[in-house]
Amino acid sequence: MALKKIDNNFVVNVLLCAVCAAASAAAFPKADFFFLIWISFTPLLRVIMKSGIKESFFYAFFTGFLFNAFGLYWLVVMINFNTGSYFQAAAASCALWFYLALYWGIWGFLCAIAKKYLFSSWIFALFAASLWVLLEYARTYVLTGFPWLLVGYSQYKFSEIIQTAEFAGVYAISFIIILCNSLFYSWISDKHGNKYMYAALLLTAVLCVFGAYRLDKFRFYGDKEFSAVIIQPNVDQYKKWDAAYRSEILSVLEECAQRAATFKPDLTVWPETVLPDFLPFGYGSYRAAKNISKAAGGLNLMGAPYSDGTGRMFNAAFAFDPQGLGYFALHKKNHLVPFGEYVPFRKRLGAVFGVLNEIGDFSKGSDSRIFKYGDIYAGAAVCSENFNADISRRFCLAGAKVLTNHTNDAWFFDTAAPYQHFTMNVFRAVETRKAVIVSANSGVSGIVEASGKIAFATPVSEKAVAQGVFLQNDFTTFYVKYGDVFVKICALAVLFILAVILII
C-alpha cells in the first residue's frame, strides 16, 4: 500500500510539473498566452512544498527541462539544417535544455530548504522571487550567457506592467511574476489566505497604474521625428556564403535600395551579415555596398563580416554615408554566440564541433561606437547583443539617442525563435527609453517605441522594405545610469535569508 501511495504521488507530481512547464512555455511566442505565467508556477510550488529537498531538485529540474524543450524546440530544426543529422540536433538540444534546467533545479532545491525554516509565507515569497532573479541573472552571463525565455520576456505585450523595467530591467518583471505565483499558492493552500491574494492583486494594480502613466509619457517621446526604412531581404540561409549566389544576393540588395529610396529615409537599416563578403577587402561587395547606400539614401547601417587585416574576423555593423564614399565607422560585436560564431575551448572541442556560420571563428569586439550622422545618434547592436541589456546601456551612456538591432534569424525559419528574439528589443526600449529599430534578414523586423509599444512588425520569411518613423531623445533612465542594482538587492536578500537559516 505504501509503495502504491508513493507511486501515485510521483505520478501526480510529474503531471503537475508538466502542467507548469507547458503553461509557462505557452506564455511566450508564438502562443503568446502571456497571462498564464502569472499562475503557471503554482503547480510546481505545490510539489516543492510537499516534497523533500532532493525530490524538489528533481521535480524543478524536470519542469525546467520540459519548459525549455517546449519553448526552445526550434533548436532541433536549426541544428539539423546545419548538420543534416537529427541525432546530432537532438543531442545538442538536449544538452542545452539540460544545462538550462539546472537553474530550475537549484531554485527548487533552495526553495525546499527555505520552506523548512521560513514560517512566514511573505518571506518565502520574497526569497523565491529574489532567488529566481539571481539565477536568471547568472544565466544571462555565465558561459557567455543564454538569457532566452527569461520569465519577464513573456510580458512584452503587457505594456503597463513592463514599464518597471525602466528602473530594474527585465528582472523586475520576473521578480513580480514569481512573487505573485508564490502569493497565489499561499492563497489556495491556506484557508485564511485571502490576504495573500489581496496583496498580489494590489501590487499588480499599483504597478499597472504607474505603468499606464509612464507608458503615456513615453509614447511618441522625443524632440524630432525621423524617417526610417528597414530592409528585410529574406536571403535563404544556404545561399548567404555560397559564392555562386553572390551576384544574386547583391542584386536583391540593389532592388531593396531602389525601393527604399522612394521613401527618402533619414536612416536605412539593414540586417546582420547582409553583405556576402568581408569588408573592406571584399572589393566587389564593398563597391556594391557604397553604391547601395548611395541609392537607398540617408545614413545606412549595414551588417557584414569585417577583417582587420591581421587574420582576425569580426561580426560587425557599418555606418555608410549617403554619398557613396564608403563606411566611416563600424561597431564590432561584443557578445558572440558559442558554436554559432566561435568554438569555446577550441583546442579540446575543435575536433568535435565546428561553427554553424560556415565562415570560421569570429573575434570578440569591445567597443560601444556610436554612429553619428547629422542629427542621428545611433547605437547598433548586432544580433545577440540585444540579449545583453548592459550593451544597450553602454551605447546610451556613449551618447546613443536611438538603438538598432541587426540580425539574421534566417537560421530559425518560421519557428517561434524569431518572435522570441524580437521581444527582447521591447525590453531594451523600456530599459533605455530609446526607440529600437530592428532589421532581420527574414524577420521579425520592426520599430519599438521608447514606451515599449511595437509600432509595427513584419511577417517572417517574406521580403520587405518597410518604412516607419522614430523619435530620438537623450533621456537617461535609472537603469541606464545605475545598471542592475535591483539584482544586487535580490542577491543580498537571498544571502541574508540563507544566513539566517544557517544560524537557526
Sign of the dihedral through C-alpha 323, 327, 331, 337: positive
Are residue 250 and residue 393 in the same domain, yes or no?
Answer: yes
Nearest to 271 by CA among 235, 307, 298: 235
Domain presence at residue 5: no
CATH number, position 355: 3.60.110.10
Position 351 in a domain = yes
Q: Is residue 125 part of a domain?
A: yes
pLDDT score at 342? 63
Shared domain for 59 and 179, answered yes or no, is yes
Segments in 27-85 forming alpha helices (H): 42-49, 53-71, 74-83
Question: In what helix (H) or strand (E) does residue 188 lie, and over which residues does it extend?
Answer: helix 170-189
Task: Express each pLDDT in 81-122 by its tens digit.
Answer: 888 889 989 999 999 999 999 999 999 999 999 999 988 999
Shared domain for 172 and 105, answered yes or no, is yes
Contact 46, 189 (CB under 8 A): yes
Residue 7: predicted pLDDT = 66
| pLDDT at residue 418 greater than cutoff 80 | yes
Q: Work out the average pLDDT over 6-21.
A: 91
Q: Give bridge partners of residue 313 from the DSSP assignment.
A: 307
Residues 243 and 194 in one domain: no
383 and 432 both lie in a single domain: yes
What pLDDT band is residue 504 in, cutting at 50, 70 and 90?
A: confident
Mean pLDDT taken over the chain: 93
pLDDT digit string (tens) for 220-239?
A: 999 899 999 999 999 998 88
Q: What pLDDT does 187 receive?
A: 97
Tens of pLDDT, residues 249-275: 999 999 999 999 999 999 999 999 999
Calculate what percentage of the chain has a pLDDT beyond 70.
Answer: 94
Whether residues 265 and 214 fall in one domain: no
| Distance in angstroms (rounded) separating the CA atoms of residues 154 and 26 | 9
d(CA 298, CA 101) in angstroms, rounded, equals: 46
Whether residue 187 sits in one domain with residue 294: no
Long-range contacts of 235-240 (CB under 8 A, 24+ apart): 235/274, 235/410, 235/441, 235/442, 236/410, 237/81, 237/408, 237/410, 237/411, 240/273, 240/276, 240/358, 240/408, 240/410
Backbone φ and ψ of 414, nearest 5°: -95, 60
Q: Are residues 437 and 303 in the same domain?
A: yes
> Residue 120: how many CB atoms within 10 A of its CB?
10
The whole-model pTM stands at 0.94
Residue entry with cell 530620438: 472
For 104-115, give the DSSP string. HHHHHHHHHHHH
Residues 266 and 206 in one domain: no
- Which H or E run contains 269? strand 267-269
In a domain, 9, yes or no: no
pLDDT, tens digit, for every residue of 17-65? Answer: 999 999 999 999 999 999 999 999 999 999 999 999 999 999 999 999 9
What domain range is 355 assigned to? 225-474
Residue 6 domain flag: no
pLDDT score, position 191: 87
CA distance 317 to 304: 6
The answer to the question of residue 2 being in a domain is no
pLDDT of residue 285 exceeding 50: yes
Cell numbers representing residue 457 in the block: 512588425
Examine the domain organization and report whether 37 and 183 are in the same domain: yes
Helices assigned H by DSSP within 271-322:
283-296
1 in a domain, yes or no? no
In this structure, the answer to whether residues 313 and 413 fall within a common structural domain is yes
Shared-domain flag, residues 65 and 202: yes
Does the pLDDT at position 1 exceed 50? no
Residue 371 lies in a domain: yes
Per residue in 177-205, pLDDT tens?
999 999 999 999 998 899 999 999 999 99
Identity of residue 442: S
Site of grid cell 509565507 = 121
Domain count, the chain: 2
In the chain the first and final C-alpha atoms are separated, in Å, by 37
Q: Return the C-alpha cell found at 187.
A: 492563497
